Amino acid sequence: MPGFEVLGKEERQQIMEVLDTGVLFRYEFAEQRRGIYKVREFEQAFAAYTGAACAQAVTSGTAALKVALRALGIGPGDEVITQGFTFVATWEAILEVGAIPVFAEIDQTLAMDPGDLKKKITDRTACIIPVHMLGGAADIDRITAIGAEAGVPVLEDTAQAAGGRVGGRHLGTFGRCGTFSFDPVKTLTTGEGGMIITDDEELWRAMSEYHDHGHDHLPNAGGRGGEGRHFLGDNYRMMELQGAIGLAQLAKLDAMIESQRAHKSRLQEAAAVLPGVEFRKHPDAAGDSATFFAFILQDEEQQRRVNTVLCEQGVGAISFADNSWHFYPRWEHLLAGSSRVASGWPFAEPGGRKRVVYDPDALPASVELMKRTLVYPVSIKMPESRLAQIATALQMAADA
Please report the beta strands in the chain, taking only residues with DSSP state E, as ranges in sequence order.
54-58, 79-83, 100-104, 125-128, 155-157, 165-166, 169-170, 177-181, 194-198, 278-279, 292-296, 373-377
Please report the beta strands in 59-163, taking only residues with DSSP state E, as ranges in sequence order.
79-83, 100-104, 125-128, 155-157
Q: Where in the chain is the domain with CATH 3.90.1150.10?
A: 253-327+363-399
Query: 3-class SS at 154?
Result: strand
The burial class, CB within 10 Å (0-12 / 13-18 / 19+), for 337 is: middle
The 8-class DSSP code of residue 260 comes to H
Determine the CATH number of domain 3-252: 3.40.640.10
Residues of the chain scoring pLDDT < 70? 1
Q: How many Cα atoms within 13 Å fall on the side-chain side of residue 114?
A: 17
Count of residues in the chain = 400
Looking at CATH, the fold of the domain delimited by 253-327+363-399 is given as: Aspartate Aminotransferase, domain 1 (3.90.1150)
Q: Where in the chain is the domain with CATH 3.40.640.10?
A: 3-252
Task: List residues with catalytic annotation.
Answer: 186
The burial class, CB within 10 Å (0-12 / 13-18 / 19+), for 102 is: buried
pLDDT of the residue at 1? 62
CB of 282 closer than 8 Å to CB of 109: yes
pLDDT of the residue at 28? 92
Rounded to 5 degrees, φ, ψ at 141 are -65, -45
User: How far is residue 166's CA from residue 63's CA, in Å, rounded to a whole number?
Assistant: 25
Query: Comparing C-alpha atoms, which of 241, 306, 294, 298 is closest to residue 268?
Result: 294
Per the confidence metrics, is the pTM higher than 0.85?
yes
Q: Could you give the C-alpha distances from 272 to 265, 287, 369, in angstroms and in order?
A: 11, 21, 18
Backbone torsion region of residue 146, taken as left when φ is above 0, otherwise alpha when ψ lies between -120 and 50, otherwise beta = alpha
Buried b (16+ CB within 10 A) or exposed e, 149-172: eeebbbbbbbbbbbbbbbeeebbb
Q: pLDDT of 244-295, one tens digit each?
A: 999 999 999 999 999 999 999 999 999 999 999 999 999 999 999 999 999 9
User: How far is residue 106's CA from residue 320's CA, in Å, rounded to a whole number?
Assistant: 13
* Cis amide prior to 346 (ω within 30 degrees): yes
